[in-house]
Amino acid sequence: MNSTSVRSGGISQAGRSLSESGRRVAGPGNLDDIQKEDARRWICRACIRKNNPHPRHFEADGIHNAYNHLFNDHGIRAPPGMTQGTAEKKANSKGRKPPGQRTLAESMKLDLHDPREQAIANDFIKRFDKEHFRRLLIDWIVAKNHSFSIAEEAELHAIFDYLNPSVSARKANITHTTVREKIVAAFEQHKQKVIEVLGKAPGLIHISFDGWRSGNRYALYGICCFFRDENNMPCKITLGLPEVSARHTGPNIAAEILDVIESYQIQDKIGYFTLDNAKNNDTAMEIIGGELGFVRARRRGRCFGHTLNLSAKAILFGHDADAFERRISGVGPLTEAEHLIWRKKGPAGKLHNLVVAIHRSDLLTGMLRNIQQEAFNKSSDPKLNARKPLDVILDNDTRWLSQLYMIRRALLLRDYIERLIAHHRIDFEQQNKAKRGGPKKSLTLPFICQPENQLSDKDWEVVEIFAQILSYYEATIKMLEGDGQIRKRKRGWTGSYGNIWDVIQGFEFLLEQLERFKDIAKDFPDTEHFRININLGWQKLNEYYEILSETPIYYAGLALHPAYRWKWFERNWTDRPEWIDEAKNMVHDVWRFEYREAALPGQEPPAVEPVPKQRKTSDDPFQEYLKRNRYTAPEAGHGGLTSGEDEYLHWITHCESGDGSIDDALAYWHEKRFKYPNLSRMALDFLTIQPMSAECDYSLTDEG
């Protein structure tokens, strides 16, 4: 350190202030002389510069202790001609350098007997900030989801020492225990800031939670919240990952959720919940609602993705799809009993057996690759010549998206798979010939070669229809899976995924597609799996569609979007006028009892923000469906409200010509908040509810 004076007025030391009557630089230029009354002490300037909250200090009568501290803790030597501490003298007598200086000197090719080069070494060590290094290391561990013990890896330490020998010199490496302690300390340090941000949120705070078991068998519940900041921009944050060590009953889950909510002091701001369809969530919501003062059914939304999963599994596997899933181990080779269970599930089950057999056999995988490569090499098409062989894709038990990916790849490889089966049978029979040349009578063919396990032409047609159906599910889930935040997307458009106003439309779109495939199924002979399963998928979807009427979430989310309004319902529910009346009454009750008379803080009008661009073209069938259902009626007047006029009634009867092109409903209501102060608050509250609980899954899987 240099010998410039430090500002007068006092140096903070462990919560005390030491006033100064004088100050001088002592020793090797790294100690400051401070005095309080008759007591004088040396304080380490190197500690102060590194923002150490507890800088080392020593009695003025014993300067050698201070010198030893500089040498041992900071690796700083005494300049030539200055007094050396006992630690430095002892090190010199044994030919030892300060911790790390030997490596540092060697790596930088410094001569420590040269005062100038020794000063360079001292300065290099002083510039290394141990705490900053540790923060960077912990940030990396957390961001990349590494095991805490990676901080103890010798190979990583070697990299650090190569880049900067001061890491070991300053003992900056940390253990897995320290990593955990510092992460917990950082969480507690920043939690108060989160509490302040949530406290300033202008609207309701919505909650999603879901359970998950980690690889080391910790049962965790991810709890996420969604809210608007002071500029009405949608925000999200993970509030906690509490461990539920007891049984996952509704009361136990509710207790953990309530503890987290109370710890952030947001009990009075809780809005709506988006959860999967598990029964224990119903019980948990009863308890949470009783504690926070709301009716469970009105505040409980259902994860759209979970509903689609149930419907898709019914299409693929028919009755008792969940029970079927529980019967399948999914670990190790298929047993004969499991093989039979899958085969009974129709073409999709038979295809699963075939893919598993190929995937788990190096021989079959190699044969499939060779068959493809031979075909590519024989082709006169240069594009085909350049192709690389593909492997089958193994599905994840009964997860419908993995089934779709498995089916798509199998359809692409169908010709090669059929050749593989034929070649495999020939090879097997050749290897198991009887003495007279024919196949052995007791010979049992491999599973995939047995006629009853092979897919017929009709089976392949059914599998192809399944792929078409699930492609519509995939298009829908991609639109609903997101956090509702506006971002710049591909092809130059700006928009959001995961919007609550798309849920009802998602149900309608998929039910419409299934009705169409019901008609297609009538023309297929002997397809009980196909025809019945489509009906089962339709029934499961319709079951949860009707449950939407328990809460105003979905009605308000769609009706308060300026591009849809109540016109969507009047256009699409023409044969269900009682549904329309029920929906309108429910939303109007929320407005009348919860928002119409609500007092709002004063706000200053902002500059008008540009409307985000719409996507001009799309090959996504669900996005095209959403476009077709926008309300594009001519302008119906949009004058100001008269004194005492109801905001909600005024808005639903006054539309503007550009409403049908609005993509960012949140920006629309943010702009309208001065004309419709209470209604805009209601709209923004509902439009920020999540259609899926996927964010909880992300937070849990990110934790490894």
Kindly report the backbone phi and psi dihedral angles of residue 428, in degrees, each rounded to the nearest multiple of 5, phi listed first. -65, -45
Kindly report the backbone phi and psi dihedral angles of residue 237, in degrees, each rounded to the nearest multiple of 5, phi listed first. -160, 145
pLDDT-based confidence at residue 676 (cuts at 50, 70, 90): very high
**What is the percentage of the chain residues whose pLDDT exceeds 70?**
80
For the chain, the average pLDDT equals 82
Q: Among 379, 360, 372, 310, which Cα is nearest to 544's?
A: 310
Tell me, yes or no, whether 559 lies in a domain.
no
Say what the pLDDT of residue 51 is. Answer: 76
Burial of 544 (0-12, 13-18, 19+ CB in 10 A): middle
Q: Are 488 and 511 in contact (CB under 8 A)?
A: no
User: How far is it, in rounded angstroms, from Cα 286 to Cα 509?
Assistant: 32
Tell me, yes or no, whether 558 lies in a domain.
no
Tell me, yes or no, whether 155 lies in a domain.
no
pLDDT digits (tens, 9 = 90+) for 149-161: 999 999 999 999 8
Q: Are 260 and 238 in contact (CB under 8 A)?
A: no
Helices (H), 144-292: 154-163, 166-169, 176-200, 250-263, 279-292
User: How far is it, in rounded angstroms, from Cα 415 to Cα 183?
Assistant: 54
pLDDT-based confidence at residue 20 (cuts at 50, 70, 90): very low
Q: Are 510 and 541 in contact (CB under 8 A)?
A: yes
Q: Does residue 138 carry a pLDDT above 60?
A: yes
Q: Which of 22-36, 108-122, 394-408, 645-659 has the highest mean pLDDT?
A: 645-659
pTM of the predicted model as reported, rounded to 2 decimal places: 0.76
pLDDT-based confidence at residue 392 (cuts at 50, 70, 90): very high
Domain boundary among 471, 491, 516: 471
Place of tokens 């539309």: 655
Say what the pLDDT of residue 630 is. Answer: 83
> Which string of b and e fits 644-655 if b means at least 16 CB within 10 Å?
eeebbebbbeeb
Q: Point out which residues pair with 270 in neighbouring strands.
A: 205
Three-state SS at 302: strand
For the chain, what percentages of helix, strand and coil (3-state, to nearest 5) are there? 55, 10, 35
Three-state SS at 273: strand
Tell me, yes or no, whether 484 lies in a domain.
no
**Residues 6+ positions from 508 with CB-CB distance below 8 Å:** 572
Q: What is the C-alpha radius of gyration for the chain, rounded to an integer number of angstroms?
A: 35
Three-state SS at 33: strand
Mean pLDDT, residues 57-65: 78
Helix and strand element counts for the chain (H, E): 31, 13
Q: Does residue 162 carry a pLDDT above 90?
A: no
Q: Among 537, 505, 517, which Cα is nearest to 400's?
A: 537
Burial of 659 (0-12, 13-18, 19+ CB in 10 A): buried
Tell me, yes or no, whether 521 lies in a domain.
no
**Residues 6+ positions from 143 with CB-CB distance below 8 Å:** none
What is the sign, positive or negative, of the torsion defined by CA atoms of 438, 442, 443, 445?
positive
More confident residue, 16 or 366: 366
User: How far is it, in rounded angstroms, from Cα 675 to Cα 686?
Assistant: 18
pLDDT-based confidence at residue 634 (cuts at 50, 70, 90): low
* CA dist 301 → 154, 197, 209, 457, 554 (Å): 50, 25, 12, 43, 8
Helices (H), 238-303: 250-263, 279-292, 296-299
Tell me, yes or no, whether 633 lies in a domain.
no
Cα 368–Cα 369–Cα 373 angle in degrees, nearest 5: 120
Q: Which of 178-182, 434-438, 635-639 has the highest mean pLDDT?
A: 178-182
More confident residue, 115 or 131: 131
Mean pLDDT, residues 104-130: 75
pLDDT-based confidence at residue 305 (cuts at 50, 70, 90): very high
Q: What's the structural domain count of the chain?
A: 2
Tell me, yes or no, whether 134 lies in a domain.
no
Mean pLDDT, residues 328-335: 45
| Owning domain of residue 30 | 11-127
More confident residue, 638 or 205: 205
Q: How many residues does the chain have?
A: 704
The full DSSP string for 357-404 is HHHT-HHHHHHHHHHHHHHHHH-S-HHHHT----------TT-HHHHH
User: How far is it, in rounded angstroms, from Cα 390 to Cα 73?
Assistant: 59
Say what the pLDDT of residue 322 is. Answer: 53
Q: Does residue 523 carry a pLDDT above 80?
A: no
Say what the pLDDT of residue 349 is. Answer: 87
**What is the percentage of the chain residues whose pLDDT exceeds 90?**
48
pLDDT digits (tens, 9 = 90+) for 166-190: 888 788 999 999 999 999 999 888 9
pLDDT-based confidence at residue 42 (cuts at 50, 70, 90): confident
Q: Which two tokens stand for residue 286?
A: 């009863």
**Residues 6+ positions from 342 with CB-CB distance below 8 Å:** 328, 334, 349, 350, 352, 353
Q: Are 311 and 514 in contact (CB under 8 A)?
A: no
Domain boundary among 104, 127, 150: 127
Which 8-state DSSP code applies to residue 703?
T
pLDDT digits (tens, 9 = 90+) for 333-354: 445 555 455 556 678 889 998 9
Domain boundary among 432, 454, 471: 471
Tell me, yes or no, whether 422 lies in a domain.
yes
